[in-house]
Amino acid sequence: MAVVFLLLIVLAQGAFFLVARSSASAAAGAAARRAALPGADIALETERLAGDVRATVPGASEVVALVGIDAGIVETTVRFRWAPPGPDLAPIVVSVASHAPQVVPP
């Protein structure tokens, strides 16, 4: 019975992990698209990305967000420690990256 209970915990934490990673990926993609627009403030987008991850990913802590432009490509990376609901069996660090081409006015 204990083995079944532990398997259910691992299964539930795996499902929550997929939701947390998907939410962080969506936030990183949105930040990349916003930062790709002409006149975008990179520092503001970096702060906004970290705030979005804190707001949308339950259990996220130690959030580090990076937004940069290199050769016309906007790169966003967010890394955070995620504490799953229930027992924290092992430290989980999630890292998500996204890219978007920089928008150039005609």
Question: For residue 20, what is the enclosing H or E element?
Answer: helix 2-35
Which phi and psi (to 5°) does residue 61 adopt?
-145, 165
Q: Which is more confidently placed, 76 or 1?
A: 76
What confidence score (pLDDT) does residue 47 get? 95
C-beta separation of 74 from 68 below 8 A: yes
Q: How confident is the model at residue 14 (pLDDT cuts 50, 70, 90)?
A: confident
User: How do residues 31-85 score in pLDDT, each as one tens digit?
Assistant: 999 999 998 999 999 999 999 999 999 888 999 999 999 888 999 999 999 988 8
